[in-house]
Amino acid sequence: MSESFAPTPRTRVVREPERAAYDRDTVYQILDEGFLCHVGFAVEGQPFVIPTSYGRVESNLYIHGSAASRMLRQMKDGVAVCVTVTLLDGLVLARSIFNHSMNYRSVVILGKATLVDDPKEKIEALYALSQHILPGRWDDSRQPNERELKATSVLRLPIEEFSAKVRVGPPVDDEPDYAFPTWAGVVPLEMVAGDPIDDARLLPGQEVPAYARGYTRKP
């Protein structure tokens, strides 16, 4: 059974609290299915929200980017951040415009991200990030050299202060609106990979690997 954590005043879901989840299983399932997060932070009073890829190793979230980026420059000293991940599962069409909604799964993580200095942990974090996005690709690719590693920063964010929010199911209309003559229901949405496209300079005899041919974000 997944361990549940008491929400902090900052992570407690206030609007529609019945949709909230505070257990690691729910949070990890959402994080492991997604691969794009948005990182919020402030610089001299100006908020920024930056999209970036991530990887999870147990109870740590790893974020990487250019060492010259504003986000990485600000966060390396432990600047407070808010990381969010959202998976959209469907459009919920109600009878009234007011009651339209979406089915979704989302996670919010608060904390301080710190720079990973240890070379071994840095490589392990980059490997975890690569495996998270496309399992198997790391071993088929040229490994990063010293120049590339120097130009790349990796940040570690402990997954300690968090909450998830999930909406599933059909539309919920006001009782009088159920007599309104229009279609209502859910339009399911999911990420589907297309057929891989060969690079124009592909060497002869290079076949599409199974991990690319059968790519999916389903856990």
Is residue 12 one of the residues assigned to a domain?
no
What's the confidence (pLDDT) of residue 75?
Answer: 61
Residue range of the domain that includes 33 = 17-213
Give pLDDT tens digits for 92-148.
Answer: 999 999 999 999 999 999 999 988 989 999 999 999 999 999 999 999 999 999 999
More reliable by pLDDT, 70 or 214: 214
CATH number at residue 67: 2.30.110.10
- Tally of structural domains, the chain: 1
CB-based contact 60:118 (threshold 8 Å): no
Is residue 219 one of the residues assigned to a domain?
no
What is the band of 150 on the pLDDT scale with cuts at 50, 70, 90?
A: confident
Is residue 6 one of the residues assigned to a domain?
no
What's the confidence (pLDDT) of residue 162?
Answer: 96
Instruction: Answer whether residue 71 shows pLDDT above 80.
Output: no
What would you report as the CA-atom Rg of the chain, rounded to the nearest whole angstrom? 21
More reliable by pLDDT, 207 or 2: 207
Token pair listed for 136: 């198997």
Is residue 45 one of the residues assigned to a domain?
yes
- CA nearest to 16, candidates 86, 96, 101: 101
